[in-house]
């Protein structure tokens, strides 16, 4: 019970700090974000080895991820200094009756309030305690209550120590940054139900996310739930690409499938390849390149067990031909898996549409462009769709691009979907089931918009207008 009381206390403290934090200047919040970035980098020598100890993701990868985390903290600071949070739209008064006439209208944006931030397992820095959700919420003027992920508890606590020290040094009330732990379902439920919480940012499993989204919607006063839930990230190999090269792209794709042991939300899980000899060459090259990969151990026993179950379900399907043997369950690290299925069987079997989180993919062989479109429509919402070989315009290419754009938040025409840049034009979201709010992004500077609510001020007094969008 004391654990649950601490959740209520954290949410209450965030609620008490929300008003003053919302009314703070962009410059003050930018200083906070830059100070957090500086503090992270100053503690690199202790943080990165600790992250490696808990996750096994590799020192080089984790060192780069810390750089990314500091980069996005500073990036949101720069956006604040450019006026992104306090953007104002002003329509002067026009004489006469509506609709032609109007009183003066000034549209501003207000912070929603305390944000419950669920840290992710697969990015212990960039999507964790001081990751993108925390950075964007603080930039928007919203206090955060961070729920640590149990996959890296020691790193989370160490990062929290750093964050709390910076918050205190910058003169902010402690309610601006709150932290809770707990691996139980009850912990997450209690946090989402806490009356002071105004929004939720979640990255995790589909089942867990949907359950929490339902709880957020059934509160006495429902709150927005920004959930990134899972994605198969289909990659379409068009004939034009096969005519140029097969082995090079196959090697890049194999590396993408196995990057981080496949524990990326953008890992390509469905590879659509034309039937025929050219497609056979590509699939053979992909299988060979994958067999040479050596994924590291997975983050948790639960993730590994789910991966083994998912691969077994694919391999046991009568319509799937295993191109690589399923991984041995007793091995410390998983081996990559690749299966092949014809488009008709894939479309008909809902089990094959489910994400398998880890170094595994299904090759779907299609007989036509229209069948490739049918595969995309069957998969539904995805964070990404990649189209290789769409450089030349045609009716068929336009149809594929149209379909890809309808089901994905990001459409790639070169490269692989793993590796998500932090930029103003980035969109990391997608239609259901990839995310619960397809118009929002959890990566890039538009992520701040999730936590800002528009308000129109009609004939506002001059003192309020002089605040230039900063809440009072």
Enumerate the active-site residues.
228, 265
| Helices 247-258 & 277-291 angle (0-180, nearest 10) | 40
Cα–chain center distance at 463: 40
Whole-number Å distance between alpha carbons of 182 and 374: 42
CA distances, 166 to each of 16, 22, 69, 398 (Å): 19, 18, 16, 51
Identify which of 193, 181, 50, 195 has the alpha carbon closest to the alpha carbon of residue 125: 50
* Other Cβ atoms closer than 10 A to 470: 18
Query: Are 441 and 428 spatial neighbours (Cβ–Cβ below 8 Å)?
Result: yes
Rounded distance between C-alpha atoms, residue 145 and residue 152, angstroms: 17
- Kindly report the number of other CB atoms within 10 A of residue 213's CB atom: 20
Question: Cα separations (Å) of 189 from 182, 215, 293, 303?
Answer: 11, 7, 39, 21
- Please give the helix or strand (H or E) that residue 336 lies within, else none: none
Q: Are 162 and 190 in contact (CB under 8 A)?
A: no
Angle between helices 26-42 and 153-169 (to 10 degrees): 130
Joined together, the tokens standing for residue 246 give 């097969």
Half-sphere exposure of 223 toward its Cβ, with a 13 Å CA cutoff?
26
Do residues 341 and 321 make contact, with C-beta atoms less than 8 angstroms apart? Answer: yes
Taking a C-beta distance cutoff of 8 angstroms, is the pair 83, 112 a contact?
Answer: no
Identify the three-state secondary structure at position 243: helix
Asked if 376 contacts 407 with a C-beta cutoff of 8 angstroms, the reply is yes
- Quote the tokens at residue 390: 């769409």
Q: Are 103 and 459 in contact (CB under 8 A)?
A: yes
Asked if omega into 225 is within 30° of 0 (cis), the reply is no
Beta pairing class for 408-412 and 452-458: unpaired
Q: Judge whether 121 and 149 are in contact, CB under 8 Å.
A: yes
The answer to whether 470 and 23 are in contact (CB under 8 A) is yes
Question: Residue 448: which of 89, 203, 137, 202 has the closest Cα?
Answer: 137
- Between CA 229 and CA 151 the distance in angstroms is 18
């Amino acid at each position: 019970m004391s654990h649950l009381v601490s959740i209520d206390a954290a949410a209450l403290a965030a609620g008490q700090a929300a008003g003053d934090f919302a009314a703070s200047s962009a410059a003050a919040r930018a200083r906070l974000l830059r100070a957090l970035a500086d503090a992270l980098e100053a503690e690199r020598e202790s943080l990165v080895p600790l992250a490696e100890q808990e996750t096994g993701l590799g020192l080089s990868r984790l060192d780069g991820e810390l750089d990314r985390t500091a980069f996005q903290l500073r990036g949101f600071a720069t956006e604040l200094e450019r006026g992104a949070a306090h953007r104002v739209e002003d329509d002067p008064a026009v004489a006469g009756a509506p609709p032609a006439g109007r009183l003066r209208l000034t549209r501003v944006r207000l912070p929603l309030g305390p944000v419950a931030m669920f840290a992710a397992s697969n990015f212990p820095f960039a999507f964790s305690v001081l990751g993108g959700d925390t950075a964007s919420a603080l930039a928007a003027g919203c206090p955060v209550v961070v729920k640590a992920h149990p996959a890296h508890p020691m790193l989370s606590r160490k990062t929290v120590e750093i964050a709390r020290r910076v918050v205190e040094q910058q003169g902010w009330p402690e309610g601006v940054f709150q932290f809770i732990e707990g691996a139980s379902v009850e912990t997450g439920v209690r946090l989402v139900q806490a009356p002071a919480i105004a929004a939720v940012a979640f990255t995790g499993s589909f089942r867990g996310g949907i359950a929490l989204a339902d709880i957020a919607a059934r509160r006495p006063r429902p709150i927005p739930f920004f959930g990134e839930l899972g994605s198969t990230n289909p990659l379409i190999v068009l004939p034009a690409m096969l005519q140029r090269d097969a082995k090079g792209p196959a090697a890049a794709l194999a590396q993408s499938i196995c990057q981080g042991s496949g524990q990326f939300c953008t890992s390509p899980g469905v590879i659509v390849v034309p039937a025929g000899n050219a497609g056979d060459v590509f699939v053979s090259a992909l299988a060979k390149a994958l067999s040479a990969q050596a994924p590291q151990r997975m983050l948790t026993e639960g993730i590994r067990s789910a991966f083994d179950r998912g691969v077994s379900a694919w391999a046991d399907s009568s319509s799937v031909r295993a191109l690589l043997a399923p991984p041995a369950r007793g091995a410390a690290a998983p081996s990559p898996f690749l299966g092949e299925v014809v488009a008709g069987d894939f479309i008909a079997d809902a089990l094959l549409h489910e994400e398998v989180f880890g170094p595994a993919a299904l090759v779907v062989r299609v007989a036509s462009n229209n069948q490739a479109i049918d595969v995309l429509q069957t998969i539904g919402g995805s964070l990404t769709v990649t189209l290789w070989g769409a450089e030349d315009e045609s009716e068929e290419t336009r149809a594929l691009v149209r379909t890809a754009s309808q089901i994905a938040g990001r459409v790639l025409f070169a490269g692989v979907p793993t590796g998500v840049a932090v930029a103003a034009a980035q969109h990391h979201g997608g239609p259901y089931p990839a995310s619960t709010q397809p118009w929002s992004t959890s990566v890039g500077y538009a992520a701040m918009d999730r936590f800002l609510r528009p308000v129109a001020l009609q004939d506002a007094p001059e003192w309020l207008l002089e605040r230039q969008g900063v809440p009072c």
